[in-house]
Copies of this chain bind each other. A is one copy, B any other.
Amino acid sequence: MPSIPTISQATYEERLHRVQRAMREQDISWLLLGPSADLLYLTGFDAHVSERLNLLMLPANGDPSLVVPQLEAPNVGDAAKLVSLQSWADHESPVDLVASSVSGDIGAVAVGNHLYSAFLLRIQDAVMAESWIEAGDLMRSLRMAKDATEIELLEIAGRNNDLAWEAFVKAGPLSGLTERQALDRLLNLTMVQGTGQCWGICASGPNAASPHYSTGDRIIQQGDSVIFDWGGPIGGYYSDVTRTVHVGEPGDEFRKVYGIVLAANQVTLDAVRPGVACQELDRAARKLITDAGYGDAFLHRVGHGLGLEVHEEPYLVEGNDLPLEEGFVFSDEPGIYLEGRFGVRIEDAVVCTAGGGRRLNESTRELVVMT
User: Could you list which residues of chain A lie within 8 angstroms of chain B, going by C-beta atoms?
Assistant: 48, 50-51, 69-72, 74-75, 89-91, 111-122, 132-134, 136, 210-214, 299-301, 304, 311-312, 315, 317-319
Count the copies.
2
Q: How far is the CB of A202 from chain B (nearest CB, A)?
A: 15
- By the criterion CB–CB under 8 Å, are B71 and A211 in contact? yes
Chain B hits for A213, CB < 8 A? 74-75
- By the criterion CB–CB under 8 Å, are B118 and A116 in contact? no
**A113-B114 contact in complex given A74-B210, A91-B301, A91-B319, C-beta closer than 8 Å:** no
Q: How far is the CB of A63 from chain B (nearest CB, A)?
A: 24
- By the criterion CB–CB under 8 Å, are A48 and B212 in contact? yes
Q: How far is the CB of A112 from chain B (nearest CB, A)?
A: 7
C-alpha spacing A86/B162, complex, angstroms: 39
- By the criterion CB–CB under 8 Å, are A114 and B121 in contact? no
Q: How far is the CB of A176 from chain B (nearest CB, A)?
A: 21
C-alpha spacing A311/B132, complex, angstroms: 29
- By the criterion CB–CB under 8 Å, are B299 and A70 in contact? yes
C-alpha spacing A301/B50, complex, angstroms: 15
Closest 8 CB pairs of A and B: A113-B118, A91-B318, A90-B301, A115-B117, A117-B120, A74-B210, A71-B211, A111-B117
- By the criterion CB–CB under 8 Å, are B90 and A50 in contact? no
**A50-B311 contact in complex given A91-B318, A301-B90, C-beta closer than 8 Å:** yes
Identity of the chain B residue whose Cβ is nearest the Cβ of A51 in the assembled complex: B311
Residue among A116, A210, A317 with max Cβ neighbours from chain B (10 Å): A116
**A71-B212 contact in complex given A50-B311, A90-B301, C-beta closer than 8 Å:** yes
Identity of the chain B residue whose Cβ is nearest the Cβ of A74 in the assembled complex: B210
A-B contact pairs, 11 of them (CB 8 A): A50-B311, A72-B212, A74-B212, A74-B213, A90-B301, A91-B318, A114-B118, A116-B117, A117-B117, A118-B134, A121-B132
Q: How far is the CB of A78 from chain B (nearest CB, A)?
A: 16
Chain B hits for A70, CB < 8 A? 299
Identity of the chain B residue whose Cβ is nearest the Cβ of A318 in the assembled complex: B91
Chain B hits for A90, CB < 8 A? 300-301, 315, 317-318
C-alpha spacing A278/B50, complex, angstroms: 20
C-alpha spacing A279/B210, complex, angstroms: 48
C-alpha spacing A118/B136, complex, angstroms: 8
Identity of the chain B residue whose Cβ is nearest the Cβ of A70 in the assembled complex: B299
- By the criterion CB–CB under 8 Å, are A212 and B75 in contact? yes
Chain B hits for A50, CB < 8 A? 311
- By the criterion CB–CB under 8 Å, are B117 and A112 in contact? yes
C-alpha spacing A264/B50, complex, angstroms: 25
- By the criterion CB–CB under 8 Å, are B114 and A115 in contact? no
Select A117's contact among B74, B91, B113, B315, beta carbons within 8 Å: B113
C-alpha spacing A50/B312, complex, angstroms: 10
